[in-house]
Amino acid sequence: MAGNRRLRKDISESDLSAADFFIPWFLRGRQRGIKMGYNFYGWENADVQAKSEEYKGISTPRQLYDILSNIWCQYTAPPRLRAKWSKADKTVGQCSITAFLVQDIFGGKVYGIPREGGHFHCYNEVDGKIFDLTSEQFHGEELCYKNNPEQFREIHFKKEEKYLRYLYLRESLKKYLQGHIPTNLPGGFFIYENNEEETILYAEDNIIKMFGCDTLEEFREYVGNSFKGMVHPDDLHKIENQIQAQTMFGEKRHDYVRYRIITKKGDTRYIEDFGHLLHGVNGKSYFYVFIVDVDQNEYLNRNRNSYAEAEILSMNQETDALTGLFNMSFFYQNVQKMLALPENRRKNISIIHFDIPNFKLFNERNGFRLGDELLCDIAKTIKNEFNSAVVARFSNDHFVVCSTGNKENIRAKVESVYKKLLQADDSAKKVRIKAGIYFMDDRYTEIGLACDHARLACNGIKRRHDINIAVYDEMLRDRLRKQQYVVDHVDEAIENEYIKVFYQPVIRVNTGKICGYEALVRWVDPNVGILNPVDFIDTLEDYHLIHKIDTYVVERVCRDYNEVIEEGHMLAPASVNFSSLDFELCDIFSMVEKTRKKYNVPINMLDLEITETVLKDNPQHIKEECEKMRNIGYQIWLDDFGSGFSSLNNLVEYDFDVLKLDLVFLKNFCINPKTATLISCIVEGAKELGVKTLCEGVETEEQYEFLKKIGCEKAQGFYFGKPMPVNELLAYIREKDMKTEFTGEEMNN
């Protein structure tokens, strides 16, 4: 027929749309111009055996394409229609097959205008003829034409007509496919519906044999009639997210993934999967998939050796390998396009930064497999909630979204993501995700800066248990400016001794004598005045600079001790606080020992404090370092017990000399009578474990008397004295006539 001949003449080997659909080795050939080759995946060597004479000569994909096109056309055009069509179009001549080809349905454009009663005006771009098409039986064997073919007429293309990829219904397609797919191909073809169940609609014999089954019914039963059942359980989460991400953006409807399958005999096979997502007029969508075996070494090898595979992978380089979301680079490209739109077309744009607090700890507790599953779940949840947005995974557990919509709508979606993740079916995957939002009021804001604003808003609440969403605003901006000042001037502050060490007395409860001091850091800056620890400690930790301050504090404490001793004064031991990052950024043991020896400070005059949060990061390493210090005589204190999610189990797992109860306990002492009972229980429990207790935040005589009553060994707070520089401290001690423990026996009790 003329239409058929004309189409085949116009299509070159680099632009085979039917090959796009039926031979997934050449997915997206039209868009990317993949050069056609005949040796992809061993085609020349494949033992292609046909069920009919037509297949015996097949040696190239082009030949298979030609034959499949004819078969489809012959099947879909009933004899009565062929005759009527021949009369309607004089150019067709003796028509044996209709001009409504495979190319027009799955590769070329088929345009449609909806009408009442399920009718569609459809025409194909090859012949430009109009059909008045009606499906009288949606589950029938063929599509019937309601109107007389003589009424076909020429039409003009219209801009407003929608692009339609027409999909024949399952039963109709099954009839066509049965008997028309060669056996012993180097792979197999199947179809599944794009729904939650991923229901398998069709699987040809090569797929059935690949899974070690004899019949379609046996195969369906083995895999639960679902694509989910075909994939190795360990790979399912990853590849589902990759497929979703590769097919959800723009007009992309192809995917390439690798995974494992398990045959009915229990053997593992390694698979490459080429899929094509098509949308039907019935509102449903379907995946047409070709899978092929690969060698285990090739499967595990990152060096790809297939040209076609390399081309497909190059198309997907913009996506994250685990979740299938955009990577940072492609995210920036897409957001830039949104910002470049004219003002009258550009909607309100927001950047949202998501982060999982303590994700490293999650991996250590639950394993990387569950960690990967969690990341995929989060990616899917975010994408489903922000379904029309640009979503990316920047790194590790950091996800970024660029979305349009008003502020209330954006906040509602972020809250929905938070709630859904907290309601996960698997209790191990219930996480409290943090989110920072930046509303881009200025379209000329640089994208990277906008993302930084959202990230900083998120980072500002990472340590807050009561806040999960933060918006970048003027207050946050001022705080960030202060943080930047800290980062830029910390070295100058140390060099010029703007960093001051203040000492707060620690009292032996039963004697009232000073038994120690806590070294507390202050920043007295000539430009901005006094900076409290809350203004700079967290910032220095975020920028991994905290070890500079802590190293300086150890140096200053040892120097102060040396100077005071030379002046004839007696001091009790001083305790110094350490951050978890100190254990990563420097050698704590060597640093403390070197400094102590430099100033000839007795080892029992320096105590080391760590908080419970320190124990969450690399606990084994920190435990080993603490044991090393205790073994040579240092005392290790557990600070801020009760300030967060404290655990008495830490007193069992680690060897501590002193347990410091956070001041939050005594703050509630006069408000809630249960607090007194709780403090008593903690003190008693610590004694049973051989651990001394120190209660912070003592401000009244009533609180002090209570600590005496329950047997708490040490106390600290403004009732005994505020933090002071060393000279003020000595004067204060003389003024108040406070006594200091100075014998080794007293100091070790």
Q: Are residues 466 and 512 in the same domain?
A: no
Token pair 């070197």: residue: 594
**Given this model, what pLDDT does residue 497 score?**
94
CA dist 43 and 648 (Å) reads 66
Residues 6+ apart with CB under 8 A from 82: 95, 96, 97, 98
Contact 505, 720 (CB under 8 A): yes
Q: Are residues 539 and 607 in the same domain?
A: yes
Check whether 591 has a pLDDT greater than 90: yes
HEC secondary structure over 432-487: CCEEEEEECCCCCCCHHHHHHHHHHHHHCCCCCCCCCEEECCHHHHHHHHHHHHHH
No. of helices (H) and no. of strands (E), the chain: 31, 24
- Residue ranges with strand state E in 210-340: 254-262, 268-279, 285-294
Pick the residue with more confidence: 220 or 334?
220
- Beta strand 514-525 with 574-578 is parallel
Q: Are residues 545 and 418 in the same domain?
A: no
Check whether 3 has a pLDDT greater than 80: no
Q: Does residue 319 fall inside a structural domain?
A: no
- The residue from 116, 135, 170 where one domain ends is 170
Ramachandran assignment for 512, one of left (phi > 0), alpha (psi -120 to 50 degrees), beta (any other)? left
Q: Count Cβ atoms within 10 A of the Cβ of residue 513 and give its class: 0-12 exposed, 13-18 middle, 19 or more buried.
A: middle
Q: Are residues 141 and 250 in the same domain?
A: no
Token pair 């004089």: residue: 90
Check whether 162 has a pLDDT greater than 50: no
Check whether 592 has a pLDDT greater than 60: yes
Dihedral angle sign, alpha carbons of residues 679, 680, 683, 685:
negative
Contact 471, 456 (CB under 8 A): no
Radius of gyration (C-alpha) of the chain in whole angstroms: 36
Question: What is the pLDDT averaged over residues 496-512?
Answer: 95
Angle at CA 646, nearest 5°, toward 642 and 650? 125
Q: Does residue 152 fall inside a structural domain?
A: yes
**Given this model, what pLDDT does residue 184 score?**
60
Run of H or E residues at 637: strand 635-641
Check whether 595 has a pLDDT greater than 90: yes
Check whether 251 has a pLDDT greater than 50: no
Check whether 579 has a pLDDT greater than 70: yes
DSSP for residue 510: T
| 50 to 18, 208, 444, 505: CA distances (angstroms) | 19, 17, 62, 92
Give the least confident one: 418-427, 430-439, 555-564: 418-427
Q: Note the pLDDT tens digit of each residue in 252-300.
A: 567 778 889 999 998 999 888 888 887 765 567 888 888 888 877 767 6
Q: In what order do the strands lie in the sheet with 349-355?
A: 390-395, 398-404, 349-355, 434-439, 469-471
Extract the tokens encoding 492.
Answer: 């100058």
CA dist 727 and 144 (Å) reads 100
Check whether 711 has a pLDDT greater than 90: yes
- The residue from 290, 314, 338 where one domain ends is 314
Contact 411, 469 (CB under 8 A): yes
Check whether 142 has a pLDDT greater than 80: no
Q: Are residues 137 and 265 in the same domain?
A: no
Question: What is the pLDDT averaged over residues 615-622?
Answer: 76
CA dist 325 and 343 (Å) reads 28
Question: What is the pLDDT averaged over residues 234-247?
Answer: 74
**Given this model, what pLDDT does residue 742 score?**
64
Q: Does residue 704 fall inside a structural domain?
A: yes
Q: Does residue 393 fall inside a structural domain?
A: yes
Most confident of 49-63, 64-78, 541-555: 541-555
Check whether 337 has a pLDDT greater than 90: no
Check whether 401 has a pLDDT greater than 90: yes
Tally Cβ neighbours within 10 Å of residue 48.
18
Q: Are residues 83 and 196 in the same domain?
A: no
Tally Cβ neighbours within 10 Å of residue 493.
21
Check whether 508 has a pLDDT greater than 50: yes
Q: How many domains does the chain have?
A: 4
Check whether 565 has a pLDDT greater than 80: yes
Q: Does residue 113 fall inside a structural domain?
A: yes
Pick the residue with more confidence: 229 or 367?
229
**Given this model, what pLDDT does residue 161 score?**
31
Torsion, Cα 303 305 310 312, to 10 degrees, reads -110
Pick the residue with more confidence: 79 or 31?
79
Q: Count Cβ atoms within 10 A of the Cβ of residue 726 and give its class: 0-12 exposed, 13-18 middle, 19 or more buried.
A: buried
Torsion, Cα 461 467 469 473, to 10 degrees, reads -60
**Given this model, what pLDDT does residue 318 score?**
67
Pick the residue with more confidence: 58 or 350?
350
Q: Are residues 491 and 449 in the same domain?
A: no
- Half-sphere exposure of residue 705: CA atoms within 13 angstroms, side-chain side: 3
- Helical packing angle, 407-422 and 368-385, nearest 10°: 150
**Given this model, what pLDDT does residue 29 score?**
29
Mean pLDDT of the chain: 72
Pick the residue with more confidence: 314 or 362?
362
Q: Are residues 114 and 216 in the same domain?
A: no
Residues 6+ apart with CB under 8 A from 44: 38, 59
Contact 676, 706 (CB under 8 A): yes
Question: What is the pLDDT averaged over residues 655-667?
Answer: 84
**pLDDT-based confidence at residue 21 (cuts at 50, 70, 90):** very low
Q: Note the pLDDT tens digit of each residue in 426-475.
A: 888 888 899 999 998 776 678 888 888 899 899 888 877 788 999 998 88
Q: Are residues 204 and 306 in the same domain?
A: yes
Question: What is the pLDDT averaged over residues 110-134?
Answer: 32
Pick the residue with more confidence: 309 or 485?
485
CA dist 257 and 248 (Å) reads 15
**pLDDT-based confidence at residue 731 (cuts at 50, 70, 90):** very high
Q: Are residues 403 and 521 in the same domain?
A: no
Domain residues for 508?
482-747
Give the least confident one: 18-22, 182-186, 684-688, 700-704: 18-22
Side chain identity, residue 724: M
Contact 107, 10 (CB under 8 A): no
User: First-to-last CA distance in the chain?
Assistant: 104
Contact 453, 438 (CB under 8 A): yes
Q: Note the pLDDT tens digit of each residue in 163-189.
A: 233 333 334 444 555 555 555 666 788
Measure CA 584 to chain center: 25
CA nearest neighbour of 657 among 637, 687, 671, 639: 637
CA dist 85 and 166 (Å) reads 21
Q: Does residue 176 fall inside a structural domain?
A: no
Contact 137, 252 (CB under 8 A): no
Q: Does residue 709 fall inside a structural domain?
A: yes
CA dist 690 and 339 (Å) reads 64
Name the pTM for this structure: 0.49
**pLDDT-based confidence at residue 250 (cuts at 50, 70, 90):** very low
Give the least confident one: 261-270, 381-390, 526-535, 649-658: 649-658
Check whether 498 has a pLDDT greater than 90: yes
**pLDDT-based confidence at residue 644 (cuts at 50, 70, 90):** low
Question: What is the pLDDT averaged over residues 556-583?
Answer: 90
**pLDDT-based confidence at residue 376 (cuts at 50, 70, 90):** confident
Q: Are residues 208 and 334 in the same domain?
A: no
Scored b (16 or more CB within 10 A) or e, 293-320 reads bbeeebeeeeeeebebbebbeebbebbb
CA dist 613 and 121 (Å) reads 67
Check whether 639 has a pLDDT greater than 50: yes
Phi, psi dihedral angles at 575 (to 5 degrees): -105, 140
**Given this model, what pLDDT does residue 532 score?**
83
**pLDDT-based confidence at residue 134 (cuts at 50, 70, 90):** very low
Q: Are residues 536 and 630 in the same domain?
A: yes
Run of H or E residues at 547: helix 546-566
**Given this model, what pLDDT does residue 370 score?**
85
Check whether 582 has a pLDDT greater than 60: yes
Contact 274, 190 (CB under 8 A): no
**pLDDT-based confidence at residue 658 (cuts at 50, 70, 90):** very high
Q: Give 45-51 contacts, CB < 8 A, sequence gap 24+.
A: 46/184, 46/185, 46/186, 47/184, 48/182, 48/184, 48/185, 49/182, 49/183, 49/184, 50/182, 51/179, 51/180, 51/182, 51/183
* CATH number of the domain enclosing 647: 3.20.20.450
* CATH number of the domain enclosing 221: 3.30.450.20
- The residue from 259, 282, 314 where one domain ends is 314
Question: What is the pLDDT averaged over residues 328-343?
Answer: 80
Query: H-type helices in 137-232, by residue range?
Result: 170-177, 205-210, 216-223, 227-230
Q: Does residue 461 fall inside a structural domain?
A: yes
**Given this model, what pLDDT does residue 40 score?**
27
